[in-house]
Structure 1
Amino acid sequence: MADKVAGMSSSSGISAKSFYSRRPWQALQQQGTYGTGTCRKNRLQGAQLKLKDEKQLRTEGRGACSVVTNAENITVTRWLDSSVIHMASSCAGQSPSDLAQRWSKKEKEMLNVPRPFAVKLYNQHMGGVDLMDQLVAMYPHRRKNKRWYMRVFFHFLDVTTVNAWHLYRMSGLENKNLLHFKASVARALINAGSIQTQRRGRPSTTPPPLKRRAVSKPAPEIRFGPGSHWPLLTEAKNANRCHDAACTRKTKYICMHCLVALCPGCFANFHSR
């Protein structure tokens, strides 16, 4: 939210009570964070008593609007589109209104319907929330748990992974879909406790014991990640093919971190992206 204005749906976990009550949105306003979202008509916290009723809006016709604002500048808008919509916002109300095109079944043509600014603002920003919900629902955490806070924790973990995937794509690195990215994150977390990190100073003359068996192709998280990427002379009877794509020689040296055969002169090229 570069402009600190967010479009949020009622399914995002923010109830209408939070919109119209004083404490949460008063604190958000003091921090310069504003919100706009839909809410149910039975959660308006008294605002429905000051708004025009639905029968009156239907009498005025499609596009009719009624707005009320409390002392904390929280605005509730009741707008008639194809059905009655309730919007709550701490930064937008009815003005400046514009015209939205809607299809009329009765007249069989597009009509220009007056639209409040709160609805326009919500429609502009709700796409990011819907896209986030869609991506989280593609590969969600399906482990059932009766403790509600654990479900919230794993939901935020899924949201964090999706955000990290977007940042990864923006960085210009290897193009991965969401499933492969989540798998790479899982591999990195699994290997985090079994890989020794490089200590400061010169490497020890006595190599540490290898905790993992040799693999034919190390994962990118291991190959390009931090660690003890130093050559180690093995006691193998036969030399193995160097894993660097630009090298065709055989060697008895391996990488202490990746556990693959590498010539000492190929380390820089193999561990660079």
Structure 2
Amino acid sequence: RDVAYISTEFKNKVILSKNQNGKEQLKPEPISNYNHFMSGINRQDQMNSYYPFSRKTIRWYKKIGIHIIQMLLMNSFYLYNQYHIGTKLSLYDYRLSVLGELLPKHPKPRNLSFNAFPFPKIHGEGKNGRTIRKRCQLCYSKKLRKDTSYFCPECPNQPSLCHEPCFKNFHQKKP
């Protein structure tokens, strides 16, 4: 294929160079030097393209950070395979082993979030079309009178409870 170039470093001289198959070809000196010195960079870009992480929605500075991390992984992969005695790892296996070392072995147990509790339901409407309201059992145990239209459908006796503070507190007290 035809390639255009401008060079102030090299003279416009044609030299013999060997391709991958060992076949000799005539090439301009700048093209031959470019291919010789840039092959490692092109290989690294090719290896990084196997695991792309470019999204349109990520901010530019995050893309740069992720690209730097990918370059660090590639460089450490080459060093590992060069100096490690034994079988060489594939890039995929190496990335998995690095992730395995970075992530915790035993994740911390998460605190129960509000979503882990059962959802309160509304009692419904009575004969006259009004919403049925009953006393909140937690407030009643504190000698307060609060009427609520919510109850817990999953608890025995289906206790009536205030929606906001009492429902959560009631379910946290249970073992």
Question: What TM-score range do you get, normalising by the shorter chain?
Answer: 0.3 to 0.5
Task: Give 1 or 2: higher strand fraction.
Answer: 1
Q: Tell me which structure has the larger Cα radius of gyration.
A: 2
Task: Give 1 or 2: higher helix fraction.
Answer: 2
Q: Normalising by structure 1, what TM-score?
A: 0.32
